[in-house]
Amino acid sequence: MSKNAVRVLVTGAADIEKEPIRVLVTGAAGQIGYALVPMVARGAMLGPDQPVILHMLDIEPAAEALNGVKMELIDAAFPLLKDVIATTDVVEACTGVDIAVMVGGFPRKEGMERKDVMSKNVSIYKAQASALEKHANTNCKVLVVANPANTNALILKEFAPSIPEKNITCLTRLDHNRALGQISERLDIQVSDVKNVIIWGNHSSTQYPDVSHVTVTSSDGQKPARELIADDQWLRTEFIKTVQQRGAAIIKARKLSSALSAASSACDHIRDWVLGTPKGTWVSMGVYSDGSYGIPSGLIYSFPVTCEKGEWSIVQGLKINEFSRTKMDATANELIEEKSLAYSCLN
Ligand X SMILES: NC(=O)c1ccc[n+]([C@@H]2O[C@H](COP(=O)([O-])OP(=O)(O)OC[C@H]3O[C@@H](n4cnc5c(N)ncnc54)[C@H](O)[C@@H]3O)[C@@H](O)[C@H]2O)c1
Ligand Y SMILES: O=C(O)C[C@H](O)C(=O)O
DSSP state string for 206-222: T-EEE-TT-EEEETTEE
> Which of ligand X, ligand Y, none does residue 209 bind (CB under 5 to 8 Å by kind)?
none
CA-to-CA separations, 242 to 22, 179, 201, 322, in angstroms, rounded: 36, 9, 16, 21
Q: Binding marks (x or -) toward ligand X, 136..155, rule CB under 6 A? A: ---------xxx-x------
99 binds ligand X (CB under 6 A): no
305 and 287 Cβ atoms separated by less than 8 Å:
yes
27 binds ligand Y (CB under 6 A): no
Please answer whether residues 346 and 126 qualify as being in contact, where contact means their C-beta atoms are separated by less than 8 angstroms: yes
Q: In the complex with ligand X, which residue's Cβ is closer, 51 or 157? A: 157
Q: Does position 30 bind ligand Y by CB under 6 A?
A: no
By beta-carbon proximity to ligand X, the closer residue of 86 and 103 is 103
Distance (Å, whole) CA 290 – CA 23: 28
By CB under 6 A, name the one of 20, 25, 30, 204 that touches ligand X: 30
User: Which residue's CB is nearer to ligand X, number 51 or number 104?
Assistant: 104
Residue placing its CB nearer to ligand X in the complex, 101 or 216 = 101
Query: What angle (nearest 5°) sits at the alpha carbon of residue 312, between those of residues 310 and 318?
Result: 155
The annotated binding site is made up of 27-33, 58, 108, 114, 121, 145-147, 178
Q: Is the peptide bond before 164 cis (omega within 30 degrees of 0)?
A: no
Q: Decide if residue 264 touches ligand X (CB under 6 A).
A: no
Asked if residue 135 binds ligand X (CB under 6 A), the reply is no
Which position among 52, 58, 180, 307 is part of the footprint of ligand X (CB under 6 A)? Answer: 58
Interface with ligand X, residue 240, by CB under 6 A: no
Amino acid at 302: S
108 binding ligand Y? (CB under 6 A): yes
| 106 lies in the site for ligand Y, by CB under 6 A | no
Spell out a b/e string for 114-129, using b for 16 or more CB atoms within 10 Å of the CB, else e.
Answer: bbebbeebbebbbebb
Spatial CB neighbours of 231, under 8 Å, sequence gap ≥ 6: none
Output 108 or 166, the one with its CB closest to ligand Y: 108
Look up 269 and say whether it is catalytic: no
What is the rounded CA–CA span in Å between residue 108 and residue 106?
Answer: 7
Shortest distance (Å) from residue 143 CB to ligand Y: 14
- The residue from 177, 206, 207, 258 that contacts ligand X (CB under 6 A) is 258
3-class SS of residue 104: coil
Catalytic residue among 55, 135, 176, 203: 203
Least distance between ligand Y and beta carbon 208 (Å): 15
Catalytic residue IDs? 203
